[in-house]
């Protein structure tokens, strides 16, 4: 079965088609793989550079980070990666998220990085949850659903932080709680997935 057809029909995939060592991606020449990877990351950098600081400043840093991570999730979908491959793609988007956040916000670097880490932890928790709930399924709807849930979490986090801007403690305490919850979710779902495999 063709890989794209399998994605669209949300059917379970054999492991060799799931981006693993024996997959079609692994048989590509190394230079072509590197070029394709580069071609996926360059548009993200170009978009952030072209949007400019003024437009970026209009959005909360958490939402900017979420947008970059969602881009990574979609790139993982189009390159046929699941699980650790998804997380790798999203991790690669972190420096771009930092660039977008620091360019727009007037927050100090430390606070900005805390927000970024919280969003990344929430995204990691969601990836693990997705891996637990849909271990062998893939599809564009699943990727979009993931992005929508992450955006919803980021929006609610941004709203909670700015709801009472007079309290500076909220700026760090709430993202820290959200990030810790994301990490806990990641660990619990990984543990549950391991137990289920046994």
Chain positions contacting another protein, by CB under 8 A: 19-21, 25-26, 30-31, 33-35, 37-38, 41-42, 45, 49, 52-54, 57, 83-85, 87-88, 91-92, 94-96, 98-99, 102-103, 105-109, 112-113, 116, 166
* Shortest reach from residue 178's CB to another protein, in Å: 19
* Shortest reach from residue 85's CB to another protein, in Å: 6
Please say which residue, 76 or 150, places its beta carbon nearer to another protein. Answer: 76
Q: Please calculate the CA angle 79-150-77 and round it to the nearest 5 degrees.
A: 10
* Shortest reach from residue 160's CB to another protein, in Å: 20
Please say which residue, 44 or 143, places its beta carbon nearer to another protein. Answer: 44
Please say which residue, 90 or 174, places its beta carbon nearer to another protein. Answer: 90
Please say which residue, 5 or 166, places its beta carbon nearer to another protein. Answer: 166
* Shortest reach from residue 189's CB to another protein, in Å: 15
Please say which residue, 156 or 168, places its beta carbon nearer to another protein. Answer: 168
Which CA distances in Å does 68 have to 2, 65, 125, 184? 29, 5, 16, 22
* Shortest reach from residue 82's CB to another protein, in Å: 9
Q: Which long-range contacts (CB under 8 A, 24 or more apart) does 184-193 make?
A: 184/125, 185/125, 185/126, 185/128, 185/129, 186/121, 186/124, 186/125, 186/127, 186/128, 187/128, 189/125, 189/128, 189/129, 189/131, 189/132, 190/128, 192/132, 193/128, 193/131, 193/132, 193/135
């Amino acid at each position: 079965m063709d890989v794209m057809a399998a994605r669209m029909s949300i059917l379970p995939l054999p492991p060799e088609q799931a981006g693993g060592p024996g997959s079609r991606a692994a048989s590509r020449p190394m230079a072509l793989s590197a070029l394709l990877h580069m071609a996926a990351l360059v548009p993200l950098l170009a978009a952030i550079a072209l949007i400019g600081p003024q437009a970026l400043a209009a959005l909360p840093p958490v939402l900017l980070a979420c947008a970059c991570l969602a881009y990574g999730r979609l790139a993982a979908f189009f390159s046929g990666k699941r699980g650790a491959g998804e997380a790798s793609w999203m991790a690669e988007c972190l420096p771009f998220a930092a660039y977008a956040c620091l360019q727009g916000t007037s927050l100090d670097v430390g606070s900005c990085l805390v927000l970024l880490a919280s969003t990344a932890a929430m995204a990691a928790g969601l990836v693990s949850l997705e891996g637990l709930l849909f271990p062998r399924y893939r599809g564009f709807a699943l990727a979009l659903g993931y992005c929508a849930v992450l955006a919803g979490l980021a929006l609610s986090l941004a709203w909670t932080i700015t709801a009472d801007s007079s309290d500076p403690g909220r700026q760090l305490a709430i993202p820290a709680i959200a990030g810790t919850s994301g990490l806990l979710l990641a660990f619990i779902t990984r543990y549950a997935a391991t137990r289920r495999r046994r």
